[in-house]
A = this chain, B = another copy of it.
Amino acid sequence: MLKVAVIGTGFIGSVHARNVARHPGVELAAVNDANFEFAKKAAAATGAEAVADVEEIFDNKNIEAVVIATPTNTHVDYLTRAAKAGKAIYCEKPIGLDYQEAEKAVSSVRETGVPVMLGFNRRFDASHAAVKQAVAKGEVGKVEIVQLTNRGPQPPPIEYVKVSGGQMRDQTIHFFDLLRWLTNDEPVEIYAIGGALVSAAIGEAGDVDTSIVSLRMASGALCQIDSSRRAAYGYDERIEVFGSDGMVESRRQNFRGMALYKGRTVIEDGMYPGWFERIESSYYQALDAFLQSVNQGTEPSPSLEDGLRAQLMADQATESLRTGRAIKLPA
């Protein structure tokens, strides 16, 4: 029985704790949170031990793996300490708030040789994964256009936005990662436009809430990503990969299968109300992939390197937003 601890038991940390607890062949040994009440609550729900001092987790030789789900500004610290303690690590995205900080952390973690998986869970959504598989099998031929949509459902609190690093680093970063993963390719040109169309407060904080990023990949493929902090009709996430032989998509999905035919219309159930309902199951799949890597001694994927790359793209897109100019990168 692999013993696992979860550090950080806010919303997503609690999801991870429950998933560890129900995963066969694994034991949720301990949970920790800067707010001990949160840890106790997660412990009660899962049967794990609540630990007040995270050092107990790092010192416990029986705990082989940790999930880091703390606020972004603490990732680098926990990541470094957990790596030094020799733990296998599942770390929520992003690695850090800026690329420099993240790169330094990655260097130091690499020296320890511990396996690390970065929490780009969307790769594990069943429909997205089926798209990736179709592309990898060559079903659409050579990739030419990728279209990624992510919207809503509502802006986070302005306090969160202020420390989030901006829409590119906080929200769009998932799609920078999906783009690299889907195409197995790297960007050579990034251009972004955006505005604070949803919330004046977001604009005053120097951020955008609505944006379009255009990218050219080394292969010549073109990509567009549209992001919005608010979709009045629920959470809307969509992937489309168009190539020389066809097109494959991960479609919008209605939250139920009811439809009402009235007058001149068909009224269907709409989107999932929130992002979590839409992609909830991908968290378990991501954790499962991590645990398999740990058990089999294989390299986890998405890797820290993937995290760095997406972070760099987010920085470059932020720079383009600021300057109004396309950023050209070496192929």
Binding site for B on A (CB under 8 A): 47, 126-127, 130-131, 134, 139-142, 144-145, 147, 149, 151, 189, 191, 193-195, 197-198, 210-212, 214, 216, 220-224, 226, 228, 230-234, 236, 242-271, 273, 324-326, 328
Give chain B nearest CB distance to A93 CB in angstroms: 23
User: How distant is the Cα of A161 from the Cα of B234 in the complex, in angstroms?
Assistant: 43
Interchain CB contact under 8 A, B249 and A258: yes
Find the B residue at minimum CB distance from A273: B264
Interchain CB contact under 8 A, A222 and B249: no
Main secondary structure of the interface of A (DSSP, over half): strand
Interchain CB contact under 8 A, A259 and B248: yes
Give chain B nearest CB distance to A14 CB in angstroms: 13
List 7 extra interface pairs beyond A249-B261, A263-B270, CB under 8 A. A126-B256, A145-B151, A245-B262, A246-B261, A246-B262, A249-B259, A325-B326
Interchain CB contact under 8 A, B244 and A198: yes
Which B residues touch A130, using CB under 8 A? 256, 258, 269
Which B residues touch A263, using CB under 8 A? 232-233, 246, 270
Interchain CB contact under 8 A, A142 and B197: yes
Give chain B nearest CB distance to A18 CB in angstroms: 9
Interchain CB contact under 8 A, A214 and B211: no
A to B CB contacts below 8 Å, 24 in the list: A47-B47, A126-B256, A127-B256, A134-B258, A144-B210, A189-B324, A191-B214, A197-B220, A197-B221, A210-B222, A222-B226, A231-B247, A234-B261, A236-B247, A246-B263, A249-B258, A252-B257, A262-B270, A263-B270, A264-B269, A264-B270, A266-B269, A268-B268, A326-B326
Interchain CB contact under 8 A, B266 and A258: no
Which B residues touch A251, using CB under 8 A? 257-259
Out of B140, B193, B216, B243, name the residue touching A193 (CB < 8 Å). B216
User: How distant is the Cα of A144 from the Cα of B230 in the complex, in angstroms?
Assistant: 10
User: How distant is the Cα of A180 from the Cα of B253 in the complex, in angstroms?
Assistant: 30
